[in-house]
């Protein structure tokens, strides 16, 4: 399958994603949707320990169904806003908003539409960039983007298509995602560990990053008893690997770890 790219107006957006353009092989791998059942696998707190970002933190808030409701940082900036997740009565994510702290400003505002047959599959979303929220709706935004999604038999997104909804820039881009025999996303220059991928703490995390990998593309200094990484040092090939957070060197805590304090 080829990766078709028409880059005018979408080049900057495309830099947020790592794309693999190889033949897809939906081989039998562990079910990637069952990893979030255990409360002790929830990501609870992240603490950056490197250079100018030292001391930056992210706290994860969950609802009673153990789905993420918010990720709150102690330093809100461009590229590092707070994140909010909204759900419908069927416990499906319907909005994902990355917000600043002034005048209801947002970095991105996304709304999701589900397949009427396979009701837990998101088939498209509309995203708005850099605007404000008024009466619950995005206004004064700079860009509007439509994304469509296709899945394999394991409910992993294997293709998405972007269309910029602006008459003067009728551009589109198509991305494909392939997995190896171990169930890991094929990415150049990456070596996986043999533990539990951090995205598998939530179906929401897997979808947003289009990464349903079984293992982590980095080696943690320590892991929980459940095999979740307690440290993330991502390096060049994994920059902003998790939920677009700037986590090139950060510690991670989970509910079973006790208070959210830096690891030694």
Do residues 138 and 128 make contact, with C-beta atoms less than 8 angstroms apart? yes
Q: How far apart are CA 176 and CA 18, in angstroms?
A: 10
- pTM for the predicted model, two decimal places: 0.81
What gap in Å lies between CA 250 and CA 60, rounded to an integer?
Answer: 15
Q: What pLDDT, in 10s, does the model give residues 194-251?
A: 999 999 999 999 999 999 999 999 889 899 888 999 988 766 556 788 898 877 788 8
Contact 122, 108 (CB under 8 A): no
Q: For residue 170, is pLDDT > 90?
A: no
Q: What is the model's pLDDT at position 5?
A: 35
Q: If we measure between CA atoms, which residue out of 27, 31, 11 comes closest to residue 206?
A: 31
Q: What is the share, in percent, of the chain residues with pLDDT greater than 70?
A: 76
Indicate whether 1 pLDDT > 50. Answer: no
Q: What is the per-residue pLDDT for 188?
A: 86
What does the pLDDT average to over 245-261? 72
CATH architecture under which domain 35-257 falls: Beta Barrel (2.40)
Q: What pLDDT band is residue 134 in, cutting at 50, 70 and 90?
A: very high
Least confident of 20-34, 113-127, 169-183, 221-235: 20-34
Query: What CA–CA distances, in Å, run from 81 to 97, 106, 242, 244?
Result: 9, 8, 14, 10
Between CA 156 and CA 177 the distance in angstroms is 9
pLDDT tens, position by position, 56-81:
889 999 999 989 999 999 988 888 89
Give the SS3 label for residue 73. strand
pLDDT per position as a tens digit, 79-133: 889 999 999 999 999 999 999 988 789 999 999 999 999 889 999 999 999 999 9
Beta strand 45-48 with 157-164: parallel, antiparallel or unpaired?
unpaired
Q: What is the mean pLDDT of residues 150-170?
A: 87
Copy the structure tokens of residue 239.
Answer: 């920059």
């Amino acid at each position: 399958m080829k990766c078709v790219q028409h880059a005018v107006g979408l080049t900057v957006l495309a830099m947020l994603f790592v794309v693999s353009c190889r033949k897809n092989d939906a081989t039998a791998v562990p079910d990637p949707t069952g990893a979030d059942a255990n409360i002790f696998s929830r990501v609870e707190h992240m603490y950056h320990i490197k250079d100018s970002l030292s001391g930056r933190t992210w706290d994860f808030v969950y609802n009673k169904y153990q789905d993420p409701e918010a990720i709150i940082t102690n330093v809100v900036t461009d590229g590092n806003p707070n994140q909010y997740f909204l759900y419908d009565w069927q416990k499906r994510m319907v909005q994902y908003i990355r917000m600043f702290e002034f005048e209801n400003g947002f970095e991105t505002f996304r709304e999701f539409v589900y397949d009427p047959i396979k009701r837990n599959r998101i088939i498209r979303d509309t995203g708005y960039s850099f605007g404000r929220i008024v009466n619950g709706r995005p206004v004064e935004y700079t860009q509007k983007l439509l994304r469509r999604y296709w899945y394999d038999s394991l409910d992993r997104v294997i293709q998405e298509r972007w269309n910029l909804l602006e008459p003067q820039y009728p551009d589109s881009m198509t991305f494909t995602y392939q997995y190896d025999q171990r169930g890991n996303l094929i990415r150049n220059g990456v070596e996986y560990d043999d533990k539990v991928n951090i995205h598998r703490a939530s179906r929401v995390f897997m979808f947003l990053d289009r990464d349903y990998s079984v293992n982590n593309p980095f080696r943690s200094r320590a892991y929980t008893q459940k095999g979740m990484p307690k440290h993330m040092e991502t390096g060049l090939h994994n920059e902003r690997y998790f939920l677009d957070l700037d986590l090139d060197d950060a510690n991670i805590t989970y509910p079973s770890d006790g208070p959210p304090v830096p690891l030694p």
